[in-house]
Amino acid sequence: MKRPLMFMVRILLVSFFLVACAGGGAEEPTSPPAAAETQPPVMEETAPVAVEGEYQGIPVTGGGSISGKITYSGPPVEPVVVTVDKDQEVCGETKEVQPVKTDASGGLVFAVVHITDISSGKPLDGMESQAVLDQQNCDYIPEVVIVPVGTPLTVLNSDGILHNVHTTPFDNPPLNVAQPATEPEIQSDPYTIPETIPVGCDVHQWMYANIVVVDNPYAVVTGPDGSFELTDVPPGTYTVEVWHAELGPQTSTVTVEEGQAAELNVDYQ
């Protein structure tokens, strides 16, 4: 019984040897399979969505209007007389700065009448107001200019002397640039945020104006007699703000009926 057992052991040893030789040595470790590359998700294009609260321009049918007169009946506001110490050949020897200007009936000029809570109506780019500020005889003309958002302000120099246009906004890019006679026209960056921006001249300290940036077209500056009119107003009830650089704001509620004219008269006292 011993001889067959030894024979079987020899056969097993030979078989193990042959298998080891056939393998050609120890196998090299294999790397784990590479992780599948992940592709970024494909973003589907979507149509732009209107931002809540953003004004929308639409065709207005059956619109009405708001018109009236802004007056001042308070105590007289005396003008400030400034002695001119430079460029007298253009500016004159003195300048009279009148912060509250009215006609004989008390009509207040350079007041801004503006609907503040309207969400849709006639397109903003259809505003009749020209975003142009001129410098004539060392005064800004006009003293108040309305500029729709997305629009730059054009500043003219009709005097042919050195001016320096200096704005002091809170939310929009400032403008502080010299404007010599060789640059009769300059332009600001487009305004993007509604606000009221004071304008001065660092060369002639009495020069002042205001830029009123608006996000809807229902804004107008009163005329020489204090009158105003807002047209193509969709029917509805609105908050109307009257603002004056010296006298501040006043607000009123106005209802516009379809195809009808609403009247608004505001008196500062």
What is the pLDDT, as a whole number, of residue 31?
A: 44
Domain boundaries, the chain: 56-123+221-269, 124-216
Report d(CA 259, CA 18) in Å as an integer.
Answer: 106
pLDDT of residue 198 exceeding 60, the answer is yes
Q: Higher model confidence: residue 39 or residue 259?
A: 259
A 10 A CB-CB count for 7 gives 9
pLDDT at residue 50 greater than cutoff 80: no
User: 27 falls in which pLDDT band (50, 70, 90)?
Assistant: very low
- Spatial distance between the Cα atoms of 246 and 17, rounded to a whole number of angstroms: 108
Mean pLDDT of 158-165: 98
For the segment 255-268, the average pLDDT, to the nearest whole number, is: 98
Q: Considering the chain, what percentage of its residues have pLDDT values greater than 90?
A: 78
In the chain, pLDDT over 70 holds for what percent of residues?
80
pLDDT value for 172: 97
Position 19 scores a pLDDT of: 35
Task: Name the CATH code of domain 124-216 (choices 2.60.40.420, 3.40.190.80, 3.40.50.11720, 2.40.30.10).
Answer: 2.60.40.420
Over 50: is that where the pLDDT of 52 sits? no
Q: How far apart are CA 85 and CA 91, in angstroms?
A: 9
8 A C-beta contact, residue 184 and residue 158: yes
Q: Which of these, 144, 147, 112, 98, lies nearest to 249 by C-alpha position? A: 112
Average pLDDT over residues 23-47: 42
Mean pLDDT score, 39-59? 56
Domain 56-123+221-269 in CATH 2.60.40.1120? The answer is yes
Nearest Cα to 203, choosing from 42, 128, 79, 91?
A: 91
Distance, first Cα to last Cα, the chain = 133
pLDDT tens for 213-241 read 999 999 999 999 999 999 999 999 999 99
Mean pLDDT of 196-213: 98
